């Protein structure tokens, strides 16, 4: 499934920080769009290798699998680790439609990804700057770069529609 460009995410001026991440975020949005089919919240994630190759994808599957840890980020990180044959995902980037929660932020730190790119903020459970900032906690041994707000209107609209229609 392809997520078409949305008028919500068009911007007048180029954004050199966020623009490079729009294509991978569209891939994450396509993953997220599949989650409601199993009753899951539409969150999608993609892990990219240092050269931009997709190593793993995931979407929320808690309802589908009955697994409380089956968040999009965790599933994408697991798939990427399996693809490279190692748990250390040094040099990789995690792209996710919603700001990660504390569990996912912990997994991000432990997997050693270099960068986290997310779309919509999560004021209720976000752990990458909104409510907590686990990934940039100086007490931890790894702190990835964080890029926020990539296709934020599109990511937020998917969630808003899901919860409105429930």
73 is catalytic: yes
Residues 6+ apart with CB under 8 A from 81: 56, 87, 89, 111
Query: Any idea of the CA torsion for 32, 156, 118, 17, to the nearest 10 degrees?
Result: 130
For residue 135, report the phi and psi dihedrals to the nearest 5 degrees. Answer: -70, -20
Can you read off the two tokens belonging to residue 69? Answer: 């840890």
Q: Which of 31, 61, 63, 73 is catalytic?
A: 73
Active site residues: 73
């Amino acid at each position: 499934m392809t997520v078409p460009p949305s008028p919500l995410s068009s911007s007048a001026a180029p954004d050199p920080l966020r623009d490079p991440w729009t294509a991978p975020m569209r891939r994450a949005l396509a993953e997220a769009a599949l989650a409601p089919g199993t009753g899951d919240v539409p969150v999608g994630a993609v892990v990219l290798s240092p050269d931009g190759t997709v190593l793993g994808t995931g979407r929320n599957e808690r309802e589908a699998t009955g697994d409380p840890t089956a968040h999009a980020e965790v599933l994408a990180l697991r798939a990427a680790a399996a693809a490279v044959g190692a748990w250390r995902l040094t040099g990789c980037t995690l792209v996710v439609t919603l700001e990660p929660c504390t569990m996912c932020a912990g997994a991000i730190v432990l997997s050693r990804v270099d960068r986290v790119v997310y779309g919509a903020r999560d004021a209720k459970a976000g752990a990458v700057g909104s409510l907590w900032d686990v990934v940039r906690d100086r007490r931890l041994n790894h702190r990835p770069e964080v890029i926020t707000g990539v296709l934020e209107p599109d990511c937020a609209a998917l969630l808003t529609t899901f919860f409105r229609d429930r």
